[in-house]
Amino acid sequence: MRILNFWKIPIRIYPLISIVGLFAFVDGFSNSALCTLACPNNIITENDPGICGAYVDYTIELGDCSSYTMSPDLPSGSLFPLGTTILTATSDVGTSCSFYVFVHDAEMPTAKCKEDLIVEIGPPFWEKVVAIELDDGSFDNCGFIEHYSFSSDIADTTVFYTCDCDDLGQHFVELWVTDIYGNQDFCETFILVQDNYSFCDASGISFGGLIATEEGEGLEGVQVDWDWGIGFSFPQFTDATGNYYFSCLTESPPYTFTPHLDTLPANGVTTLDLAFISRHILGLQLLDSPYKLIAADVDRSNSITTLDMLEIRKVILGIKQGFPNNTSWRFVDKNYVFPEPMNPFSEPFPEAIEVINPYNGGLDKDFVAVKVGDVNGSAAVN
């Protein structure tokens, strides 16, 4: 009996009391100390215009917590940078939740082209042009330009020009720029391929020239038709400096080069032009060049009257979208000498250039561009 009582006493009193007290303590701590935070769903958004990031609002639900801190310290409404930012909210007792904000760059870069690129064919009788050679300061709002190409395909980076009549001359091209996030933009320009040193065996002769205003400003986008008398037109267009170029013309002359441009009739036409024309009609202050007189004759009647002023008013007010029997621009052979400069209508003046001699090539087939209705030279040329 003594042995039995000896073992009951310590087991029943001391160990049992210690185990029960421990469980009571742990259970009491969990019921009073823990709380729950609720974070928002992950946020995916675009950058704000002109900013390499985005201002983002979000809400943390406190639940039964009394306060929390954010890591990193970017409270709601902060500017978040491009890419992924992981945020963790931690309560005052240590519980936490997390979410991320992803800002991606959706803004296009800006493509800027050189006005034109001149390529001279030489040994080994071909020339390579890489797209970046056309770049004139393209830039991206965030990061940098990663790819330069001739199309939206970033692998389309190179073109080759050879001693071939199809390659010589003016080529319309696009320069595409792509930023590090895949956004793209493009601009348009020309590549002029020449064989001035006759390295090529391509037959034919080349022609070209400058189309510019009386003040010498080159006019961009003029269509110049080439015709050798069979009713077909093979156009080229003037570049940003007003130059056009035909190469390897192999058909028999005569050749005729005729410019055309009939857009934006109100370009440069204002009430100030009306004032100058009115003073000319009244004899108070005459228009002092044949090209200004041609510009004033908007109805193409070979005279300057109040009817021209009426048509100009209609264009200024938007009542009409052009001039009767006329185009927005007229072009005069620069080498033509008016027999009566103050009466350019005394005989028909040449609005095309004809080449009779098959060997009379060259880049001197120039025209003076006249903006109809604009007698003070205020029209934009590009």
Q: What does the DSSP assignment read for 241-307?
A: TSEEEEEEE-SPSPEEEEEE----TTTT--HHHHHHHHHHHTTSS---SHHHHHHH-TT-SSS--HH
For 290, residues 6+ apart whose C-beta sits below 8 A from its C-beta are 338, 341, 342, 344, 349
Nearest of 265, 239, 270, 233 to residue 371 by alpha carbon: 265
> What's the confidence (pLDDT) of residue 19?
29
- 321: number of Cβ within 10 Å: 10
Instruction: Give the residue-averaged pLDDT of 230-236.
Output: 69
Supply the DSSP symbol for 377. S
Residue pair 96/90 in contact (Cβ under 8 Å)? The answer is: yes
> What is the torsional sign of CA 190, 196, 199, 201?
positive
Q: pTM, whole model, 2 decimals? A: 0.55
Residue 132, SS3 per DSSP:
helix
% residues pLDDT > 90 (the chain)? 63
CA distance 329 to 334: 15
Instruction: Give the residue-averaged pLDDT of 347-359.
Output: 86
In the chain, the amino acid numbered 283 is: G
Supply the DSSP symbol for 110. B
Structure confidence by residue, pLDDT tens digits, 92-130:
999 999 999 999 999 999 999 998 888 887 665 678 899
Check whether 2 has a pLDDT greater than 70.
no
More confident: 28 or 244: 244
Instruction: Give the residue-averaged pLDDT of 86-97.
Output: 94
- 231 pLDDT band, cuts 50/70/90, is low
> What's the confidence (pLDDT) of residue 230?
62
Burial label, 367 (beta-carbon count in 10 A; 0-12, 13-18, 19+):
buried
- 11 pLDDT band, cuts 50/70/90, is very low
More confident: 181 or 332: 332
Check whether 12 has a pLDDT greater than 50.
no
Structure confidence by residue, pLDDT tens digits, 13-55:
333 333 233 332 333 333 335 898 999 999 999 999 989 999 9
More confident: 310 or 171: 310
Maximum Cα–Cα distance across the chain: 151
> What's the confidence (pLDDT) of residue 360?
59
Residue pair 240/219 in contact (Cβ under 8 Å)? The answer is: no
More confident: 89 or 358: 89
- 355 pLDDT band, cuts 50/70/90, is confident
CA distance 136 to 109: 13
Structure confidence by residue, pLDDT tens digits, 52-84:
999 999 999 998 899 999 999 999 999 999 999
> What's the confidence (pLDDT) of residue 124?
57
Structure confidence by residue, pLDDT tens digits, 130-188:
999 999 999 998 888 999 999 999 999 999 887 777 787 888 899 999 998 899 999 99
Angle, helices 306-316/271-281, rounded to nearest 10 degrees: 180
CA distance 287 to 274: 12
Check whether 379 has a pLDDT greater than 60.
yes
Structure confidence by residue, pLDDT tens digits, 284-297:
999 999 999 999 99
Check whether 194 has a pLDDT greater than 70.
yes
> What's the confidence (pLDDT) of residue 144?
87
Mean pLDDT, the chain, integer: 85
> What's the confidence (pLDDT) of residue 229?
67
In the chain, the amino acid numbered 149 is: S
Residue pair 22/29 in contact (Cβ under 8 Å)? The answer is: no
